[in-house]
Amino acid sequence: MENEKENKENGEEKEEIGFMGHLDELRKRIIIAFVGIIIGCIISAFFIEQLMDYILLAPAQAANLSLQNLQPFGIPFLYFKVIFITGFIISFPFLLWQLWLFIAPGLYESERKWASRITFFTSISFFIGVAFAYFFMIPSMLGFAATFGTDKIRTDIDVNAYFGFVTLMILASGIIFEMPMVSYVLAKAGLITSKALRSYWRHAVVVIIILAAVLTPTPDPINQMFFAMPLFILYEISIWIVKLVEKKPKDE
């Protein structure tokens, strides 16, 4: 009885130590990730004028839109927001790497191999989504906003509202472009199948159209379809990725 009680206490003590060890590791990764974001913010702050003139304001200038500041401290707050968002985008691969380092000790050797690949391809997918939003989605939407309406109404856009629009499009596109990688992870975990994704294609079409209508600030169907088409393509790509996962040997 005493041995059983002692073994039980030792087991509970080890479990508690293991739990505290996971908490310490999580805190460590969060602190390191936060430092990575700070470094990204420092880099973006160093190039803030170039970011504002040649990147952030370039789509509005190309669409001949007039921007104005309507708040007393609008410009300083705008600069801080640009620095933070840009710092987050710059440090995104590093944040994913810290997440992988946290979960890696609990994975098998074979799982660590594909988990490290996921970190790389997830970052690539995110940056492709960011580039798609910046070079295609945002110019088309701003171009429509600039040409729509009458000459008797002057259109002056609050620069903070403009930045909110650009940020929403960029981050939403970057996250949406993660769909194939999310499907890959779920397929590796056995949570989804290509047959299930194919059977829910009609439901996915409805969800994508609603999502495009919500995220697209302009009511015209052209811009909404311009936003929805990549989602349809990504969904189809996700189905084929899941099929490739299913074809691989289970022991792999």
Domain boundaries, the chain: 2-177
Query: What confidence score (pLDDT) does residue 14 get?
Result: 47
Q: What is the mean pLDDT of residues 76-84?
A: 91
pLDDT in tens, 95-111: 888 888 787 776 666 66
Dihedral sign from CA coordinates of 239, 244, 245, 246: positive
3-state secondary structure of 166: helix
* Residue 35 reports pLDDT greater than 80: yes
d(CA 165, CA 85): 13
Over residues 13-35, the mean pLDDT reads 75
The stretch 237-250 carries a mean pLDDT of 78
Q: What is the mean pLDDT of residues 124-130?
A: 91
- 78-86 mean pLDDT: 92
Nearest 5°: the CA angle 196, 202, 208 is 105
> pLDDT digit string (tens) for 178-210?
888 888 878 877 778 888 888 888 888 888 888
Mean pLDDT score across all residues of the chain: 80
0.85 surpassed by pTM:
no
